[in-house]
Amino acid sequence: MREALEKSKGVILEVLTPRGSNLRKFLEFTEKMWETGIDAFSVTDMPLGKVRMAPWAGAHFLLERNMDVLMHFTRTTRNMIRIQSDLLGSYALGVKNLLILSGDDPKHGDYPNTTRVDDISITDLIKLAKSLNDGKDLGGRTIKPSTDFYVGAVFNHRDNTDLVKAKEKIRAGADFLISQPVFDVKEVENVIYELNEVKLVLSVVFFKSEKQFKIFSQVPGVNIPRKYLEDLENKSDEYIRDYTLSKVLEIVDTLKSKVDGFYVVGIVRDSKVLEEYQRNFGTFLKKLGER
């Protein structure tokens, strides 16, 4: 993945770890999708505050099968000691690519009364990962051997305040940034030039049904443009599939020469629609290759 982003042609596909301990469907899906030619799987860390298998476990099984990973690493469910322990443990398991996030608020998840942890800020967590690369932990103690993390962070291209935070993440040492889902070319064109100090990856998403689209549109933190919502109102599943894929391909075609990669949000996980997803994703990769 790192090499692909350095060459400005990375493709990352997001996947969720299982709810339980059975990895069969997870591995079946990832092995099929790896054949399409993507550069890495982005392994999430309990999105929406819902309990799932730890990302380092899912990442480890993918790495064992020679598939590269970008592992999400969140701060709000870990205290300072656990953060450093999990970073070192993940690295020992082969994880080198990190996407540093605050994490979804637990109040939206399975255990709304659980304690949110704020021992460290997002910028300081980025600094910590880079410090481990220099062989030092947060307290300045020597770590041997040092790590070699490739560190990413996220930004919201629709929020000017968040763009300021994105620049702080760059100063903290982020090697690359990944956007929130992009639904229209115009909404992100100007941002590309403001954040060109590091590798820039745009998130895109396409849907298979009205139900899937409605669920996604209600996710906390997801902001879908009004026109996009209106265009899909009361439309058939087939129309939604075709419309959202065409929008993604338009974004890729227009911006592929201006950014360093694309991040496909992990929506489809049902093995019954795997063949269709592979076909759509193959179209996506073909379009990306026409640069």
What is the mean predicted confidence (pLDDT) over 228-252? 91
Confidence of residue 217 (pLDDT cuts 50, 70, 90): confident
Which of residues 155 and 268 earns the better pLDDT score?
155
Predicted confidence (pLDDT) at residue 271 exceeds the cutoff of 50: no
pLDDT at 88: 98
Range from 19-28, 200-209, 214-223 carrying the lowest mean pLDDT: 214-223
CATH number at residue 159: 3.20.20.220
SS3 173: coil
User: How many independent structural domains does the chain possess?
Assistant: 1
* In-domain check, residue 62: yes
pLDDT at 149: 99
Number of Cβ within a 10 Å radius of residue 173: 19
What is the mean predicted confidence (pLDDT) over 105-126? 89
Contacts of 46 (CB under 8 A, 6+ apart): 52, 55, 74, 77, 103, 104, 109
Is the separation of the CB atoms in 138 and 131 below 8 Å?
A: yes
Average pLDDT of the residues of the chain: 90
SS3 19: coil
Residues in the chain: 291
pLDDT at 269: 55
> What distance in Å separates the CA atoms of residue 173 and residue 168, rounded to the nearest whole number?
9
* In-domain check, residue 222: no
* In-domain check, residue 184: yes
Convert the pLDDT of each residue in 47-69 to its tens digit: 888 899 999 999 999 999 999 99
pLDDT at 280: 63
* In-domain check, residue 201: yes
Predicted confidence (pLDDT) at residue 256 exceeds the cutoff of 70: yes
* In-domain check, residue 238: no
Percentage of the chain beyond pLDDT 90 is 60
Predicted confidence (pLDDT) at residue 32 exceeds the cutoff of 80: yes
Is the separation of the CB atoms in 175 and 198 below 8 Å?
A: yes
Give, as one character, the DSSP assignment of residue 144. S
Distance in Å from the first CA to the final CA of the chain: 18
Q: What is the 3-state secondary structure (H, E, C) of 243-271?
A: HHHHHHHHHHHHHCCCCCEEEECCCCCCH
* In-domain check, residue 267: yes
The angle that helices 24-34 and 55-64 make with each other, rounded to 10 degrees, is 50
Range from 79-83, 111-115, 144-148, 197-201 carrying the lowest mean pLDDT: 111-115
Convert the pLDDT of each residue in 152-197 to its tens digit: 999 999 888 899 999 999 999 999 999 999 998 988 988 898 999 9
* In-domain check, residue 237: no
> Whole domain around residue 59: which residue ranges?
2-208+244-289
* Strand segments (E) across the chain: 10-15, 40-43, 69-74, 97-101, 150-155, 176-181, 199-204, 261-264
Predicted confidence (pLDDT) at residue 219 exceeds the cutoff of 90: no
Is the separation of the CB atoms in 108 and 47 below 8 Å?
A: no
The residues facing 12 across adjacent strands are 40, 263
What is the mean predicted confidence (pLDDT) over 282-290? 65
> What distance in Å separates the CA atoms of residue 182 and residue 5, rounded to the nearest whole number?
19
* In-domain check, residue 231: no
